Structure 1
Amino acid sequence: MSIITPGIGLIFWTTLFFLIVLFVLAKKVFPAISTALKDREDSITKALSQAEEAKKEVANLKADIETAKKEARAEREEILKDAQAQGKKMIAEAQEAAKVEADRMIEEARNAIEADKRAAMAEIKGQVAELSLEIAEKVVRQSLKADDAQKQLVKELLA
């Protein structure tokens, strides 16, 4: 038997052992490997589908977040507009109230001035009347010193 050409017995027994090992592998090992590969394929498929679902969910969440941002911006703008409108309204009301108060105070001041003016005029009239009476009294006393003038005045008054 040489190294290069094996003998028939060696070929027979090698082939027989190979077929036995192949048969055992086909009955016991290959189904287990096949099952493991199938399970692995199923888990990979399941993981891929879950990844797709997660990707879709992330896209939906991004869309929801963007919508919420837009709504928040719109709400913020609305709140700012309302605040500005209320501020303008409050300023206008304060200006109107200040104008009304100023007009009232001006009217009160005019009335007070008018009352003071009337009081001063009445006082001046009283003083003028008093001075006029004093002057008239002095004039009448001087003109009535003469008897003829007194008689003449009495006649005029009686007439």
Structure 2
Amino acid sequence: MNLAKPTDLQTRRGRFFFWVGLVILPVFWVWWMRPPYFSHVERRAGWCWTWIYLKLLLYFHEPVGSGVQAALQGWQVVFFWITLVLWLWLALRLFRLDQIFFGYIVLGEVVTPVIHLYLPAFKWLAALLASPAALILMPVLPAVLHLLVVPVREWRQGRRMMTEAA
């Protein structure tokens, strides 16, 4: 019994990010293929790719492990960029491009000239961001907000339909 695929997977952007995610980190993405709206062939291909990916990871463990030490030196930068990309992607999911453009203009013309008045109040922020726990948890908030976008939209649509019916 195949149900209709989710609407996110029917868009070009949704399919692109799904398959990019499956290529980069199949262990996580293959679980998204478990529902019945994926065909048996698609699910089997996802599991086979995950198995091949894990085998390659185990086979190349030594060369990859030696490079991990060098990569750990820049983990703060990695978490910063992950957080920044998640916030930008969330903005693109929630707002139209014209809203983002005008928000950018307001930010540049209204907020930036007066931000120097408030900078001394944010001294605690530098100390907070220096802790490893805060840097690891930085991407969590935008990631949770991404997970809430669709349920909140469905909830709002249901409420709107209930008020129109009344």
TM-score of Structure 1 vs Structure 2, range by shorter chain: under 0.3
Larger radius of gyration: 1
TM (normalized to structure 1)? 0.22
Structure number with higher relative contact order (C-alpha < 8 Å, ≥ 6 residues apart):
2
